Amino acid sequence: MKFEPKTLDYNISPYSGATRETWIEAGKYLLENAFMSIKDFNDPMVLPRYEDEVTYPNKNTPAWKVQAEYFEGITRTFFIAAPILAIEPDLTLNGYCLRDYYKNQILKCVTKGDPNYVRTYSEMQEEFGENDPFGIYQQTVETCALVICLDICHEQIWDTYTREEKDKIADFLLDYARGNTVPQNWRLFNMLDYAFLYKNGYEIDRDIMRDHAQTILGYYAGDGWYRDGRGFDYYSCWAFNLYTPIWCQWYGYKNEPYLSKRFEENSNELMKTYSDYFDRDGFTNMWGRSGIYRFAAVSAFCGNFLFNNSAADPGLARRIASGSMLQFLTRDDFLYKGVPTLGFYRPFLPLVQEYSCAESPYWMGKAFVSLILPKDHPFWTAKENNGTWDDLKEKETKITALDGPALCMANHAANGTTELMTGKVDLEKGEDHLMWNYNKLVYNTKFPWESAPSREVESEQYVLHDLTFDRIEKCNVTYWCGLDKDILYRRQFFDFTNGSEACWNSLLNLADIPMPYGILRVDKLRTCRRPLELTLGAFGFPDNGTEIVKKEKNGFKAIILKGHNHIGKEIQLAMTIFDGWDEITTIESTNTNPDSEKSVIAYAKTKRKKQYGYEKYIMISQVITKESMDDFSDEDIFPIEKIEYTDPEECGGYGPVKLTLAGGKVKVIDFDGIDGKMRS
């Protein structure tokens, strides 16, 4: 059953209608569905699951991690329950007083000998440390959620524990706080554990605290973004930009003023552009790992308001937060037996990582931390505004390129979508799952990424087929070359490995040109081995009865797809090939699309036959979308009036490529000097 808000106010919230009361209703909706699975007061929060091959626990899961699932279920649903309990202390769902249930379960998790005991860090190191003296465990993640929630509803739960019970919890937390952790966003978990203990009068190791904090600051890349591991994703927003303000309030402002000032400045820098990652409806883009956390990405707005000097626009922040929350909760495929699916919308295993369990999606509960802001806070009282979308002219596209994290957003007024283009991506060849998450050419808020429909076709990715060895190669590394006159330049390598020389790899120089409804591509192929075949797919198109139309004009070819997504929304996509391609066609697929079981992918195909020979180097294509059955105009589908090459053979082997677009606008694409601008 999908979420249907009872309280809406389109005066204060003209875009979403959602208010503070709507958010409380949404939180209760999620909790009530979860508690339907709890049969006894002493049962842990272990919820229904339909998959046991990828996620844990499974046949390969060690005993300690089975217990970790208990802890994950309690702490992550607590993200939703804690702020609501602070407002409604006596809240009862499915016959359980939530205050009593969580108080009891937390004690059971830290009480040795209890069936729900999740074990301390030291106990696990005693058993496994001989093999891994730097071992890390899932419980470290959940201790951070626990302390945040205990602080939020301290009057209802923490303050009611006896001194002996508090000490037992504190000893458990301290053991994880001083234990080993993953050298990326996980350091924040240890920092928050320590900060909670400090705030509540316990002794901590300030030296360890400072080491973690300075390391976290060292991950900062600019424009408000932190590099988390190999790349950039929403962890920068739902971890770095939510946990640092809480740390500052509990510990940093008093004890580490320099670090706190920097964390605050970084968050305010993020607020300058973060709203442009979302579309006109406030939708979150499916991009990066842990997509099952959905609208947790909006928690960065709340995080900014927790700093002493915040820069976020409260009316815009609430509009996006509410739009993103409703993006998911109002769908009828969002829940499986009352639990958020392991997917983005419906169940979708290509998105899921092995570190997740059935309870993991409740990380989205971080968004409900906004309920700790008082009801008279501007986040709740300011009138909604739509930021960029209120200012764009008809058919205008706003381009924002951030060199720090190598991310580029295109906000299209014509269709209300936001498209995201990424750089600084460095993956191992064969990591298809991560390529889908990080290395698609474009990510679209209304057409989430599709996994591979076939060996030789990918949505929004090039696939190279080496015909000599019958070998498939995909782009696993992307370098960022920056924005020049609203053209984004990047470079992608096929099957790149560290230590290999670039000249021995096939690669593409990419040029992305924003158009009213999407992106026009002018890409250049460089390879040392032929013959080969190359394909390029459009976005995956949910197939719930799709009309396919083919068009031609001036030698250019297009395929138009018209249909509806799972919830019945009208959708349309057009892919056009202009030069450098042999043909355009479609392929049907099943269970590769996050929105619908069946899908259709339009794709282009071409061959290069000679090992050495002056053949086409430049490939020009376009993909445009909208949520309407109204026909695209010929100008939208075929926007190029003239293509001019520097070389007389018109292959694009060297020199600039000049495009004259409908209406007389000229775009010049020049890849000369791209090597000198590359960032990774």
For the segment 224-239, what is each residue's pLDDT rounded down to a tens digit? Answer: 999 998 889 999 999 9
Q: Is the pLDDT of residue 282 over 80?
A: yes
Whether residues 575 and 672 share a domain: the answer is yes
Whether residues 412 and 270 share a domain: the answer is no
Kindly give the interhelix angle for 139-152 and 63-87, rounded to the nearest 10 degrees: 20
Q: Give Cβ neighbours of residue 376 (< 8 Å, ≥ 6 apart).
A: none
Give the per-residue pLDDT at 675.
87
Whether residues 365 and 472 share a domain: the answer is no
Whether residues 185 and 174 share a domain: the answer is yes
Q: Of 389, 407, 437, which one is at a domain's C-terminal end? A: 389
Q: What are the structure tokens assigned to 454, written together?
A: 């076939």
Whether residues 411 and 375 share a domain: the answer is no
Q: 470 pLDDT band (50/70/90 cuts)?
A: very high
Beta strands in 100-242 (DSSP E): 220-222, 225-226
d(CA 37, CA 162): 30
Eight-class DSSP state of 658: E
pLDDT (mean) for 534-540 = 98
Whether residues 314 and 411 share a domain: the answer is no
Eight-class DSSP state of 458: B
Residue 676: Cβ-neighbour burial (10 angstroms; 0-12, 13-18, 19+): exposed
Give the domain extent around 269.
Answer: 20-129+137-389
Specify if 540 maps to a domain. yes
End-to-end CA distance of the chain: 45
d(CA 301, CA 367): 9
Answer whether 588's CB lies under 8 Å from 599's CB: yes
Give the per-residue pLDDT at 105.
98
Q: CA 373, 375, 377, 382 torsion: positive or negative? A: positive
Whether the predicted model's global pTM rises above the 0.95 cut: yes
What sections of 88-186 are H helices per DSSP? Answer: 98-110, 121-128, 139-152, 163-177
Q: Domain holding 441: CATH number? A: 2.70.98
Whether residues 502 and 371 share a domain: the answer is no
Whether residues 376 and 405 share a domain: the answer is no
Give the per-residue pLDDT at 133.
84
Give the per-residue pLDDT at 109.
96
Specify if 174 maps to a domain. yes
- Total number of domains in the chain: 2
Q: 433 pLDDT band (50/70/90 cuts)?
A: very high
Count how many Cα atoms sit within 13 Å of the Cα of residue 616 in the half-sphere of its side chain.
Answer: 16
Specify if 448 maps to a domain. yes
Whether residues 412 and 527 share a domain: the answer is yes
Q: Of 339, 371, 389, which one is at a domain's C-terminal end? A: 389
Q: For residue range 43-95, what is the model confidence (pLDDT) as tens digits?
A: 999 999 999 889 999 998 887 788 899 999 999 999 999 999 999 999 999 99
Whether residues 303 and 162 share a domain: the answer is yes
Specify if 553 maps to a domain. yes
Q: For residue range 636-657, what is the model confidence (pLDDT) as tens digits?
A: 999 999 999 999 999 999 999 9
Whether residues 219 and 261 share a domain: the answer is yes
Q: Domain holding 198: CATH number? A: 1.50.10
Specify if 13 maps to a domain. no
Percent of the chain with pLDDT over 70: 100
Specify if 1 maps to a domain. no
Specify if 3 maps to a domain. no
Specify if 10 maps to a domain. no
Q: Of 330, 361, 389, which one is at a domain's C-terminal end? A: 389
Angle (CA) 633 638 642, round 5°: 140
Q: Give Cβ neighbours of residue 402 (< 8 Å, ≥ 6 apart).
A: 222, 223, 225, 273, 408
d(CA 491, CA 511): 9
Whether residues 328 and 202 share a domain: the answer is yes
pLDDT (mean) for 113-140 = 89
Eight-class DSSP state of 637: H
